[in-house]
Amino acid sequence: MPSRSIGFRVLTDTRVALPAQRRLAVLADHRVFAALLALAAVLRVVTMLGYRPVTLYWYDSFTYLDTAVHPAPSATFHPIGYPLLLRALLPFHSVELVAAVQHALGLGTGLLLYAVLRRRSAPGWVAASAAAPLLFDASFLRLEHGVLSDTQFIFLVVAGLAVLMWSPALSVRAAAGAGLLFAAAALTRTIALPLLLLVVLALAVRRVGWRRLAALVLAGTLPLAGYAAWYAQHHGRFAISGADGVALWARTMTFADCARIQPPPDLARLCPNGTKVDAASEYVWAPGASLNLLPGDRFTHNDLARSFAIDAILAQPLDYLGHVVRDTAIAFSWTPIPHPDRTTPAFGFRSGHWELPDQPLIDKVKREYDPDIRGLSSVSPYADFLIAYQYAAYLRGPFLGVILLLGAVATVRRPRVALLPWAVAMGLLIGPVAVLDFDHRYVLPVIPVACLAAGLAHPRCGIRSQM
């Protein structure tokens, strides 16, 4: 009897110890990424200490903050998604808290990338490497520290892909959840609208079944339809944006030849008039551009601008494609090329103090959102470290090309897994250029999605989950 008791006690102790050993083994398996995530968090704390309070941009930031206080569908470039996040943080009246939340979203996005790749059997070093550009590139630190919609947009796109890719057998519930996330992304930045179509096509290629496709489409379109109806109440037109036509018109100003287009008289007023700027997007704001010489606000002519742009593209399709290819290629240059010239594509951490821009909404936003809004100041020694750090921590264009190439290899080898993120990455790269213009800021959302696709090129990655 005593021996039996001892044996039972040893067996019991072993059974208790095994789960603890498994937990320790799991933690050890992720220790490299945990260390990287901790370092990335420290970098974000340094960013918040080095630049106070946050970066505020002339047009975008103050419009977002004003819409957060007075929610309404915008007739310009900014849908309601990001202002809703700002409104959720309104009770704290702190733009610094906004930056802190965005830095947390950046870390969360990196964690999602790592988790999905480990779920798809990627080795720890592959999954950690895929998350590293997002976690450590200085451009993301700067992006998260500004009142801009991009960080939220990146998180929503990656979260939508994570839901779709988490399990080999896609469920109806997961498809619906992903649809909601992509709808939220489209209501944050309208470039996600074609992404929803890309996702549907990629899943159709995988033959996931009509119920799952229907759930994705329904969950993705209902919020957009609701917003469009709200937009119609304010602006008299069922739409998501009131600037899509203006953007596409600006895109065509780099090549449009009205002798070939032969537009009718009402559209001929939008022909190029000799005004020259250094990038297509600058035509939106150029005072001498033909659209801006029409009576009223430029966005009141959105439908007219769209009609002209479509006629121009149909009359000159090769010219249009050539300009899209030429501008997209800027993303792969070794030395960042300013486009337009007034932008700072990289290495934007500097020392100094920058006053708030001359913007009519500033006093209103200070009164209603955060009384402590002020010009940006660098703070030593934190800013000094970031200024030096940014030159090493920048993903050069050719490396982005390699990452996209690895994603293409993964797509050929295992299309059921890799086609979806790679297609979304290419859509994010080409889409903004096709509908408006190239901007280095618009390339940043490409990087984490492209890294997700590239990580799937490893031979161990496949359909079976081993996380």
| Domain ranges for the chain | 2-242+346-400
Structure tokens, 430: 């080409």
Question: 149 pLDDT exceeds 60?
Answer: yes
Q: What is the per-residue pLDDT for 10?
A: 44
pTM: 0.92
Q: What letters, b where the CB count within 10 A reaches 16 and e where it falls short, cover 116-127? A: bbbbbbbbbebb
Q: What is the per-residue pLDDT for 268?
A: 95
Question: 146 pLDDT exceeds 90?
Answer: yes
Nearest to 366 by CA among 69, 152, 167: 69
Q: Which DSSP helix (H) or strand (E) runs through 354?
A: strand 353-354
- Identify the band that residue 275 occupies on the pLDDT scale cut at 50, 70 and 90: very high
Q: Which DSSP helix (H) or strand (E) runs through 136?
A: helix 124-136
**Crossing angle for the helix pair 210-235 and 172-186, nearest 10 degrees?**
30
Q: Which DSSP helix (H) or strand (E) runs through 51?
A: strand 51-52
Show Cβ contacts of residue 127 under 8 Å, excluding neighbours closer than 6 positions: 33, 113, 114, 115, 117, 118, 455
DSSP 355: P
Question: 3 pLDDT exceeds 70?
Answer: no
Instruction: Say whether the peptide bond before residue 432 is cis (omega within 30 degrees of 0).
Output: no
The CA angle 340-342-346, to the nearest 5 degrees, is: 85
Question: 4 pLDDT exceeds 80?
Answer: no
The average pLDDT across 231-251 equals: 92
Structure tokens, 207: 């033959």
290/280 Cα distance (integer angstroms): 13
Find tokens 């940043």 and name the residue.
444
Show Cβ contacts of residue 349 under 8 Å, excluding neighbours closer than 6 positions: 50, 51, 138, 142, 378, 383, 386, 387, 389, 390
Does residue 376 sit in helix, strand or coil? strand
Q: What is the per-residue pLDDT for 381?
A: 97
- pLDDT tens profile 398-444: 999 999 999 999 999 888 889 999 999 999 999 999 999 999 999 99
Q: What is the per-residue pLDDT for 152?
A: 98
Nearest to 72 by CA among 230, 224, 228: 230
| Mean pLDDT, the chain, whole residue set | 91
The average pLDDT across 358-386 equals: 93
Contacts 24+ apart (CB under 8 A), 41-47: 41/107, 43/135, 43/136, 43/141, 43/389, 44/103, 44/106, 44/107, 44/141, 44/144, 46/382, 46/385, 46/386, 47/103, 47/141, 47/142, 47/144, 47/145, 47/382, 47/386
Burial of 70 (0-12, 13-18, 19+ CB in 10 A): exposed
Q: What is the per-residue pLDDT for 134?
A: 98
Q: What is the per-residue pLDDT for 358?
A: 80
* Span of 18-22, 186-190, 263-267 with lowest mean pLDDT: 18-22
Question: 15 pLDDT exceeds 80?
Answer: no
Question: 157 pLDDT exceeds 70?
Answer: yes
Q: What is the per-residue pLDDT for 113?
A: 97
Question: 26 pLDDT exceeds 90?
Answer: no
Question: 126 pLDDT exceeds 90?
Answer: yes
- pLDDT tens profile 318-352: 999 999 999 999 999 999 999 888 888 888 899 99
Q: What is the per-residue pLDDT for 334?
A: 94
